[in-house]
Structure 1
Amino acid sequence: MTSDARHRRELDLLTIGTERDDPDDRARSWSEDLRTVVRRGEGVSAGLAEAIRSAARSGALRAGVRMPSSRALAEDLGVSRNTVTEAYTQLVAEGWLATRQGSGTWLADRAGDGPDVAPIDIGSRLEEIASFRYSFEPGSPDVSAFPREAWAAAARRALLAAPSRSLGYIDSRGDPGLRHTLAEYLGRVRGVVCHPEQVVVCSGFTQALAVLSRVIASRRGVLALEEQRHWHHTVVVHTAGVRTLTLPLDEDGADVARLPSTSATAVLLTPAHQYPSGARLSTARRRAVIEWARTSGGLIVEDDYDGEFPDPRGRHRALQGLEPGHVAYCGTVSKTLAPGIRLGWVVAPPVWVGEIVRTKRNLDQQAGVLTQLTLDDLITSGEYDRHVRRSRLAYRRRREALASTVRMAAPWADIQGGIGGLHVVLTWSDRPGMPTVEAVQDSCARLGVSPPPALTRFGPVPAGRAGVVIGFATPAEHEFRGALAALASALRAAAAEAGPAEV
């Protein structure tokens, strides 16, 4: 079957599938809605996304129905493929559509009893990454550098010193010693202003976000999200039943000036190092979002996911330190130590503490006590600070090596994401003669590198741009040079296939 025939078949199957499910022919109605959007000629991508949402709500499209490819739908509607891709990306981020590499895109079951609502099957993704020799998957530190000896010594000291009662059920906020230590540490390192009673220890940021989302949902709140964000955060928020809206991004971070004109009662931000763009929320916007919170009584959820690895050219303290009464500050050891430790925390505004603790207790009585006691000892002994300092220097060297390699191997690509953190974004012009994201990913796979995620996985991408996200902290130290060489070869191969004369 030719490519054009396959695309036409996808459209036919979509129509047949919906008509069979709906005798009233609502499928034709939603198809006409799409064409009406195109005829209007304004906000086509947003209108297309809303037409698909409406079709899903009405039942014209049923959970599990395979959507046409972006190319097929674009041809059928007479619009650019980027228009359809942008609409699909937004719907995936909101949980209306689900997609998986090699399996296409389908309508997700938002009730949770159909196809997986997550845009990515994380189990399959981890298996895929493990099948390659090298990986630059963003979101993880070099776990081979985990301080095993220091952790083991801290665990032994903590366990031998712990009173028997500490091994039973404890306050759902977490071990009192760790909460006191975190309050002091976060004040010293990130400028957080809090009392230990405000600290709630969680099993990583995912649980912290799940708890906060349930509290926001119970108040019938609306959560504003950054236009680009970690895909799983969207899933967590929507699973809790929270209504959401999105804020555009630029080089100054999220456009929080729009908040007063929206229905948002809370906003989730990555102000120190926006994920994945790397932008820092500007001073003016920090003031603006704090003013919005004070005026409206809104909640700012601050995700300080890699705050220990700042841009050395200028460092912002935590937003929470400027307005402790309206900011829920969230942190984790997933980037400093390892994701497998499963420890994070929320520093909650005083008036939110009780509801957050009650909600967490209903989800999970408490995080693992032995892990909490060990982290407490690791911090108080100074070993945690020493490990973070070593990691900070190592990751800065890696970032510099990656930047140098990209400049040599892919002069057609720009590096974004700041100097700090654990990842960068490679972007380039999306035009004929330039490598496609798929070409870069395929070249990486052929050379033993796990294909880096496309920037579109995280949200809409500016028109005319393409990109991938590179996590330079992920490879083990002894593999980094080899991984970098393989990545460089992949970038050169992708450019060569696109045509060196055009690049």
Structure 2
Amino acid sequence: MDRAKAAVSKRSKSAGADFLQMDVGEAPPGGRADWLAARLRSAIADGRAPVGTRLPPSRVLAAELGVSRGVVTEAYQRLGEDGQVAGRGRAGTVVVATPAAARARPPEPRRAPEVFAGRPGLDVFEALRAAPARVDLTPGVPDLAAFPRAAWLRAERAVLHRATPAALGYGDPTGTPALRLAVANWLARNRGIRADPAEVVVVAGVSQALGLLARVLHERGARTVAVEDPGSLGVRQHLTYAGMATPPVPVDDRGLRVDLLARCGAPAVLLTPAHQFPTGVVLDGERRRRLLRWARDGGLVLEDDYDAEHRYDRPPVPALRGMAPDRVCYTGSISKLLAPALRIGWTLVPPALHADVVDAKRTADLGNAALPQLVLAELMESGALERHLRLLRHRHVRRRDAMIRAVRAYLPGAVVHGAAAGLHLMVTLPGDVDDRALAAEALRRGVKAHPLSWHGQRPQPPGLVLGYAATPPSEIDRALSTVAEALHALP
């Protein structure tokens, strides 16, 4: 190897202040950690510190720069929250990913985004995902940079090592026995649900579960499923596409108005009782009792437990399924715990519906892919998924708190809702604001968010639904500053 190649090889393994061309004299007073994080981020983006580079120990870099060790530690922590570096024990802090191009270069000004114009269609979420932006505050997106790749690979190797040839063939449409057992155990530990693994049906996310349930109910003569208002636009679209009317039932600070549910005459209701979307309220005890009485009188409850594991400032709320298994269809998924791309969820339905739901799943796709199910089962049963969840909770609290501070700083008069749990906040705004115009203007300036009016069938106060789980605190602050600028720019 010649000297030039040796130098390149050495540089690819470690980097220092001289190599990264950093001069602390450029840092603004009181902003050294921000300055250092930005310089390191730039070095990773332009290839001076490629993936695999070992950054200097914090003590060494602090001495080279002539700053306190805390400045370097804070900068490394911010890059870790971005998912760009990771601590590797004795190997030190290593670059593991390059920043997204959208973060490195804000979008050029462009025409008003059409995604917020008119009534949202079935493709509205795909259109919003495709729109370029500097910061994505879309609700319901977990911290994808935190995906436990090493743990997944270990579990995958273990699964492939012991998998028999039969495991690679067509399987049970309800899911692999290993995952159904793991899900039953997970729900018992985390959601207070006692279920036999034979009751679990593995599905391609909550969206498929709702589609299967709607199909079965439609075949049995049902044409209406009541929904919360405000409530998830996406859920409402799935039910409507399946031929169901979705009469709105108001939600207040105690959850669904069960008294008004009884009046609307719907045979079934879909709700999010542990962390209502988007308001974040919990269905209180008295209304839970009234809802279960309504169910015992012939109603059917569809319980979407979409992010109940993510709680911070309150104890867990038990699932309705544990109280009335004969009247509650329960759905959950891994989308908010690991990644939506896995497309793995589960449903538990009353015995009277189970065979029909299994038939619907069988004819839909013959069952989910088996290998990802087996890997997920390994993560669940080994304790790796719960360790990952504990890590996420700590990170989410920092990001949630950063968003609350930013809302208070940049949007005076705005009210924050649903901060005790979940992956998003609902923010209502004072005055007569067109929240769709606000979301469009924010997107034009490089920030994605949902207008609250998307998620309501009846008139709602103006507001935004802001996801924080996937965004580092420093970017959250800049994003809310941009939202405030967009608000002031409205006519």
- Whether TM-score is above 0.5 comes out as yes
> Over residues 244-272 of structure 1, what are the superposed CA-to-partner deviations in whole Å (9 max), with x where a residue is unaligned?
32211111111122333333221111000
- 1:471 correspondence with 2:463: no
| TM superposition score normalised by structure 2 | 0.73
Deviations 1:168-215 (A, max 9, x none): 111111001110111111011100121111100001111111001101
Distance (whole Å) between structure 2 residues aligned to residue 103 and residue 328 of structure 1: 33
Which residue identity lines up with residue 421 of structure 1 in the other structure?
Answer: G
Supply the distance in 2 between the matched residues of 1:182 and 1:426 (Cα, whole angstroms). 34
Match of residue 285 from structure 2: 283
1:114 counterpart residue number: none
Distance 1:245 1:211, change over 3 A: same
Q: Secondary structure of 1:243's partner? A: coil
Work out the CA distance in 2 between the residues paired with 1:192 and 1:315.
13
What is the alpha-carbon distance in structure 2 between the residues aligned to residue 481 and residue 403 of structure 1?
11
Q: 2:446 aligns with which of 420, 445, 448?
A: 448
Q: CA 1:178 to 1:440, structure 2 compared with 1: closer, same or farther past 3 Å?
A: same
Alignment correspondent of 2:110: none
Task: Note the 1:478-497 alignment, pairs <5 A.
Answer: 480-494=472-486, 496-497=488-489
- Structure 1 residue 449, shift from structure 2 partner: 2.0
Name the counterpart of 2:273: 271
* 1:255 aligned partner: 257
State the 1:286 CA deviation: 0.7
CA distance in 1, matches of 2:114, 2:194: 44
The Cα shift of 1:309 comes to 0.7
Inter-CA distance 132–294: structure 2 relative to 1 (3 Å threshold) = same
Letter in 2 for 1:156: R
Identify the residue that residue 330 of structure 1 maps to in structure 2: 331
Residues 1:294 and 2:296 aligned together: yes
Deviations 1:13-59 (A, max 9, x none): xxxxxxxxxxxxxxxxxxxxxxxxxxxxxxxxxxxxxxxxxxxxxxx
Aligned to 1:399: 400
1:134–1:198 Cα change, 3 Å: same
Q: What is the aligned-residue RMSD (CA, Å)?
A: 2.1
- For the pair 1:224 / 2:229, whether they are aligned, the reply is no
1:305 match: secondary structure: coil
Given that 1:141 and 1:474 are in contact with CA atoms closer than 8 Å, whether structure 2 keeps it comes out as yes
Counterpart Cα distance in 2 of 1:225 and 1:495: 30
Q: Amino acid of the residue matched to residue 483 of structure 1?
A: E
1:458 aligned to 447, 452, 455, which one?
455
**Structure-2 change in CA distance of 1:439 and 1:217 (3 Å):** closer
**1:326-345 alpha-carbon deviations (Å, 9 max, x no partner):** 11111100000000010000
Q: Structure 1 residues 233, 495: closer, same or farther in 2, change over 3 A?
A: closer
1:454 partner amino acid? P
Report the Cα offset of residue 400 of structure 1: 1.0
1:301-316 to 2 correspondence within 5 Å?
Answer: 301-316=302-317
Q: CA deviation at 1:447?
A: 4.3
On the 8 A contact 1:311/1:420 being kept in 2, the answer is: yes
What is the CA-CA distance between 1:119 and the residue it aligns to?
4.7
2:124 corresponds to 1:126 = no
Equivalent residue letter for 1:467: G
Aligned match of 1:105 in 118, 124, 134? 118
What is the SS of the residue equivalent to 1:169?
Answer: coil
Structure-2 change in CA distance of 1:188 and 1:242 (3 Å): same
Distance of 2:351 and 2:317 partners within structure 1: 23
Q: What corresponds to 2:435 in structure 1?
A: 437
Number of matched residues?
A: 378
Deviations 1:369-408 (A, max 9, x none): 0010000001111110100111111111211111112112
Partners of 1:103 and 1:419 lie apart in 2 by: 29
* Inter-partner Cα distance in structure 1 for 2:115 and 2:393: 37
CA distance 1:361–1:498, shift in 2 (3 Å): closer
The residue that corresponds to 1:158 in the other structure is 159
* Alpha-carbon distance between aligned partners in 1 of 2:392 and 2:278, rounded to the nearest angstrom: 20
Q: Which residue identity does 1:290 align to in structure 2?
A: L
> What are the within-5 Å matches in structure 2 for residues 186-197 of structure 1?
186-197=187-198
* Structure 2 residue ranges without an equivalent (≥5): 1-112
What CA distance in whole angstroms lies between the structure 1 residues aligned with 2:372 and 2:321?
26
The equivalent residue for 1:55 is none
Q: Flag the 1:246–1:485 CA change in 2: closer, same or farther, 3 A.
A: closer
For 2:457 and 2:242, the matched residues in 1 are separated by 23
The equivalent of 2:70 in structure 1 is none
Indicate how the Cα distance of structure 1 residues 442 and 292 shifts in structure 2: closer, same or farther if over 3 A, else same: closer
Letter aligned with residue 384 of structure 2: E
Q: Deviations over 1:88-116 (max 9, x none)?
A: xxxxxxxxxxxx9368437xxxxxxxxxx
Structure-1 separation of matches of 2:116 and 2:445? 23
Q: Does residue 139 of structure 2 align to residue 143 of structure 1?
A: no
Whole-angstrom CA distance in 2 between matches of 1:250 and 1:402: 23
Aligned to 2:182: 181
Matches within 5 A, 1:13-28: none
Separation in structure 1 between the aligned mates of residue 115 and residue 239 of structure 2, nearest angstrom: 26
Give distance in 2, aligned partners of 1:495 and 1:169.
54
Q: Distance in 2 between matches of 1:367 and 1:260?
A: 37
CA distance in 2, matches of 1:103, 1:471: 18
- Asked if 2 retains the 8 angstrom alpha-carbon contact of 1:141 and 1:473, the reply is yes
Structure 1: gaps (5+ residues): 1-99, 107-116
Question: Contact between 1:260 and 1:292, CA under 8 Å: does it hold in 2?
Answer: yes
Is the CA contact (8 Å cut-off) linking 1:279 and 1:418 kept in structure 2? Answer: no
1:240 matched to 2:232: no
Inter-partner Cα distance in structure 1 for 2:487 and 2:124: 30
Aligned identity (percent) is: 36
Offset of 1:418 from its aligned partner? 3.0
